[in-house]
Amino acid sequence: MNDDNELTDSAVLSAVRDSISGLPMPTAPRLEAITARGRARRRRRLAGVSIAVTGACAALVVGLAGGGGSGGPVRQLQHVASPVHVSQVHLAAFTVVAGPDGGTTLILSRPQVANPSAVRQALAERGIPALVTANEFCRTADQPAPGVGDVVTLGSPQAGVVIYGSRIPGGVELSIGYRQDPQDSEISFSLIQAGAPLTCTSIPDHGPHGND
């Protein structure tokens, strides 16, 4: 039953189609770039989870909940309080900065791979339920709503990735997996059902199960 103000099914789908179809798309990358990426993936897969942490300066930056500024890697745990109630927790391999607006910025730094338990605890203290894993990427069979895109959005290079912890519903956790090695750094986000069986892989599993 439709009145004049109600879109038909086909009109709804047409609106979706038209909104994207009219948009100029980037041209396809060169085929060589795709095959090179595939070869790199195959090398990583063959390498398994072995990690060689060398070098010093690379950093993986994750901004949480519209967080503010961040500092470089530091070597000792410390808490810093400021007059505007901004607190910082500095650990050897990661930094968490919480702002007065509830924003939080997390920085994972090399040369050390951050202790996942410590990262998880730091996020939990800020109300973000998370499963944090290093060198493996975990998910559950069911992907709970909302989409992870509602919880995690990519920000500017300065802001990093923004995570809205308040949008994570009860019984749901954010799975954060990261892997850092001399050639590549990866970080993966997905929503998982708390307490459900996990499937963990050494590379982010974003494809249909069993197809790779």
Partner 1 sequence: VSHEQTEFAEFFQASWEPCLRAVVASTGSVQLAEDQVAEAFARAWLSWRKVRRHPAPRAWVVRTALNAGALWWRRHVRELPLAGHDTPAPRDMDDGLDAAVLTALRHLPDRQREVIALRVFLDLDIDTIAGQLGIAPVTVRVHLSRAVATLRHELSSSRAMEVDR
Helix (H, G, I), strand (E, B) or coil at 142: coil
Nearer to partner 1, 32 or 83 (CB): 32
Binding residue (CB under 8 A) for partner 1 from 66, 102, 129, 204 = 204
- The C-alpha atoms of residue 96 and residue 147 are separated, in whole angstroms, by 25
Q: How many residues bind partner 1 (CB under 8 A)?
A: 67
- Tell whether residue 28 is a contact of partner 1 (CB under 8 A): yes
- Neighbour tally for 127: CB within 10 Å: 12
160: left (phi over 0), alpha (psi -120 to 50) or beta: left
Decide: is 186 part of the binding site for partner 1 (CB under 8 A).
yes
Dihedral, CA of residue 191, residue 196, residue 201 and residue 203, to nearest 10: 0
Q: Is 77 in a helix, a strand, or coil?
A: coil
Residue entry with tokens 């802001």: 159
Nearest Cα residue to 65 out of 94, 105, 100, 96: 105
Assign residue 202 a region (left: φ > 0; alpha: ψ between -120 and 50; beta: otherwise). alpha
135 near partner 1 (CB under 8 A): no
d(CA 100, CA 32): 47
Binding residue for partner 1, selected from 88, 112, 121, 185, defined by CB under 8 A: 185
Q: Given candidates 15, 52, 80, 194, which one binds partner 1 under the rule CB under 8 A?
A: 15
Closest to partner 1 by CB, 12 vs 80, is 12
Select from 22, 83, 170, 197 the one that contacts partner 1 (CB under 8 A).
22
Tell which positions 52-71 bind partner 1, by CB under 8 A.
Answer: 55, 58-61
Under 8 Å CB-to-CB from 198, ≥6 apart: which residues?
A: 131, 138, 139, 140, 192
152 binds partner 1 (CB under 8 A): yes
83 or 210, CB closer to partner 1? 210
Segment contacting partner 1 by CB under 8 A, of 8-16, 87-95, 114-122, 194-202:
8-16
Q: Looking at 52, 53, 154, 194, which residue binds partner 1 (CB under 8 A)?
A: 154
Q: Which parts of this chain interact with partner 1 (CB under 8 A)? A: 5-7, 9, 12-13, 15-17, 19-26, 28-29, 31, 33-35, 37-38, 41-42, 55, 58-61, 139, 143, 145-150, 152-157, 159-161, 180, 182-191, 204-208, 211-212
